[in-house]
Structure 1
Amino acid sequence: MGLHYNNILVAVDGSTESEWAFKKAIAIAKRNDASITLVHVIDTRSFATVESYDRTIGERAETYAEEIMANYKKEAEVAGVVNVQTLIEYGSPKVIIPKEGVKKANADLIICGATGLNAVERFLIGSVSEHITRSADCDVLVVRTEKKD
């Protein structure tokens, strides 16, 4: 079997940490001749607080997701990753990424950033990366540092 990955799922949310995760994913994909699937989850729970669900929030979130995905995809292809897919999902990132994300990407490795939540938020909702680590059936790489090549 060997230490070889074929399909890497990278969770991106526009944060600095997910940027680092994305850069590491490119390096690992190239070493393994692996494909990359970028996943961005639009957290619909954050809209629930808006009394009458304001459509423009959802539309803005979608536009933003499509823009960052297009940029990441182009960057990965320019860097030499042959097969780059994108997934935009809706719901709770920590639930969707390790289950549906993995299934759709047929992933054998998830790469995500260590989410930059403050202590209070982490206590209340648990960090996304922690949750992915616990519930994924494949390997998970949580990126905490910028790539020093």
Structure 2
Amino acid sequence: MTDPIRILVDADACPVKAEIYRVAERYGLPVFVVTNGGVMVPRDPLIQLVIVGDGFDAADDWIAERCGPADIVVTADIQLADRCLKSGSTVIGNTGRPFTKESIGMALASRALMADLRAMGTVGGGNKPMVAKDKSTFLSALDAAVVRLRRAPPPRGAPAA
């Protein structure tokens, strides 16, 4: 891997920011916490708060336009996950569920179905609340993603580090 690994966080409503900071500190990785505002971050040179405009999907656009193969994106937004996968990024949901090129189609279809059912009044509510097990699963998934990226061979034609 020739590019440094970065963690880009879709921070609005992200319940695992503290876990992200712990993993980033352990590996010395930069973190970009992207939000429309109202998010506090620790004073740490590795953690950068990025405040975007109030425009629809402004945070998503910032992340999608900058992510690449050496990046880990943390988001619960399935459409953002799809955009980031197309850039070659590793994408992990807030509960530790990885989004992959193989699974994103089903996730997008499920999202569309649930939106239709909510619009018809057939189902209501949102996601289940986070529990300790979800945070543990997330920590394991993020740690595994960092280790996998650190061990990845350099892209073809790139000099070995």
TM-score (norm 2): 0.46
TM-score (norm 1): 0.49
